[in-house]
């Protein structure tokens, strides 16, 4: 299976799917935002110090995707707002489906 055309922030990986994110730390609440280019915006309340924002990203995604935290791994961007996260055991199509809120999806391109 491949990701839906609108899920250009996901790509296949031998272990699952890679999710490209643009993270906004110190947000008022944790939530998914719109897509920006080839990335999905993710807001977290944690500050970008001592890996707090990275931990918040991994925890948020694990809860959202209903996956054990150990299956969500930061593979690029530890000190950047632009991150790539490996979703172990999820193909891009399934990951895209799980990232869609019940009333629709992350906003436009």
Residue 58 lies in a domain: yes
For 82, the domain range is 10-99
Q: In CATH, what number is assigned to the domain containing residue 91?
A: 3.30.1200.10
Q: What pLDDT shows up at residue 6?
A: 53
**Does residue 108 sit within a domain?**
no
> Is 63 part of a structural domain of the chain?
yes
pLDDT of residue 109 exceeding 70: no
Into how many domains does the chain fold? 1
pLDDT 10s digits, 90-105: 999 999 999 986 555 4
pLDDT tens digits, one per residue of 42-56: 999 999 999 999 999
pTM over 0.75: yes
Please check whether residue 64 lies inside any domain of the structure: yes
Contact 74, 85 (CB under 8 A): yes
């Amino acid at each position: 299976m491949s990701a839906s055309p609108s899920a250009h922030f996901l790509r296949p990986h031998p272990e699952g799917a890679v999710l490209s994110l643009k993270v906004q730390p110190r947000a008022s609440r944790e939530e998914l935002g719109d897509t920006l280019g080839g990335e999905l915006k993710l807001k977290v309340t944690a500050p970008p110090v001592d890996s707090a924002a990275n931990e918040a990203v991994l925890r948020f995604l694990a809860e959202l995707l209903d996956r054990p935290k150990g299956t969500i791994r930061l593979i690029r961007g530890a000190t950047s707002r632009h991150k790539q996260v490996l979703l172990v055991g999820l193909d891009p199509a399934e990951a895209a489906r799980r990232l869609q809120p019940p009333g629709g999806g992350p906003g436009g391109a």
